[in-house]
Structure 1
Amino acid sequence: MPSFARPPRHLLLLSVAVVALSLTATDARRRRQVHLRLYMHDILDGPEQTAIRLIRNAGPPHEFQKGECFGDTMAIDDPITEGPGIIGSSSGPVVGRAQGTYMLSSQRENVLVVAVTVSLTDGPYSGSTFAVAGRVEIYNDAAEVAVVGGTGQFRRAAGHVVWRTSKLVSKVYVVVELIVDMSVPANDTASVGNGSLAIE
């Protein structure tokens, strides 16, 4: 029987790497970029309250957050607007809700872990959602959390959100800026919007 020489192992590995890179590049070309700038209004008390405490004082006292304990957890149903102003005055219309939880997840660091779904209810992406999860250092200028999926026009979304405090309205009212940079499959139908809710 004829014998065939085996190709060197390093050539096989190189071939596999080239194919993998080619598939990755092809997949990237088939995705459409989406860029959004949104504002989340987190209100901890008062008649317009949007966040409630689910868990309090279950863990040991936090080393730096006075009056807070490790594991303290909040549930949120925060309005989302296109502008950073106060709700009902200069923020512009409410275009969605941010719904989920955040938890004081370090005993010593000023760190929250967030798990939030942003549901858009107005504009070109009405009815679509995207989900974010990650670690936010409370006193940093900005944090980065991951976009881990979505529905509707954001189905199979992937990317990241720059999460930063835009305005401290009061001790119980903070406006958070969400700069969203994600991609979705290009073959999914997506409307082209305008302004801060535009898709590219």
Structure 2
Amino acid sequence: MEKMQVLGLALILLYMVTTPAYCQYYSQTVPYESLQEKTTNLHFFFHDTLSGKNPSAVLVARPNITKDDKSIAPFGSIFAIDDPLTVGPELTSEVIGKAQGLYVSSSQDVPSLVAYFDFGFTSGEFNGSSISVFSRNPIADTERELAVVGGRGKFRMARGFAQLKTYFLDKTTGDAIVEYNVTVIHY
């Protein structure tokens, strides 16, 4: 019994001695290197499909208080998206990436969404890179603007704006094709 207590005490001491070596704060300062800022203009089409057998946007939450509301996206509804991005407005045109994220129906008066999207590019010069958008999207307006708030890969530390224009909207199903002209400032 005494040997077990000694062994236990030895293990506790060993643990106390070695633990601080693995839990220390680490920081490294490197010299600042001035990076050249670049501006990139992107043009593509966003296909948001809520209807059919294989929709690219699905309702994931809807408040109980809106159960009698027959609109496609009543106030408080949350949708998850996995929408294709294409070169042209036709769904058969070349796919250059995907928009993945969420949007929330955020207005009680007029159709408006708050969008949280990551536009991941899967071909061309920006393959493997993405831009992130987080902004209010007043979808009743034909033309509108969203904020670019970040990015990955070649768009690291991105900022900018996306000008949107509704190309097609089916008011019955909610299916939409939106033209995006994006100005991205990045390093």
* 2:44 match: 38
Whether 1:145 aligns to 2:151 is: no
1:54 corresponding residue in structure 2 = 60
Compute the displacement of 1:77 (Å): 0.1
2:160 is matched by which residue type in structure 1? G
Q: Pick closer, same or farther for the CA change 1:117–1:67 going to 2, 3 Å.
A: closer
Is 1:74 the equivalent of 2:76?
no
What is the number of residues matched between the two proteins?
Answer: 153
RMSD between aligned residues: 2.3
The share of aligned pairs that are identical, in percent, is: 33
1:175 aligned onto 2:181: no
The whole-number CA distance in structure 1 between the counterparts of 2:182 and 2:49 is 22
Segments of structure 1 that go 5 or more residues without pairing to the other structure are 1-26, 186-200
Deviation at 1:31, TM superposition (A): 1.1
| Runs of 5+ consecutive residues of structure 2 not aligned to the other structure | 1-33
CA distance in 1, matches of 2:57, 2:148: 22
Alpha-carbon deviation of 1:60? 4.5
The one-letter code of the counterpart of 1:168 is L
Point out 4+ residue stretches in structure 1 off by more than 2 angstroms: 57-63, 65-69, 168-173
Matched residue, 1:103: 104
The SS at the match of 2:125 is coil
1:153 aligns to what SS in structure 2? helix
Normalised to the residue count of structure 1, the TM-score between the two structures is 0.70
CA shift at 1:169, angstroms?
6.0
Work out the CA distance in 1 between the residues paired with 2:183 and 2:73. 33
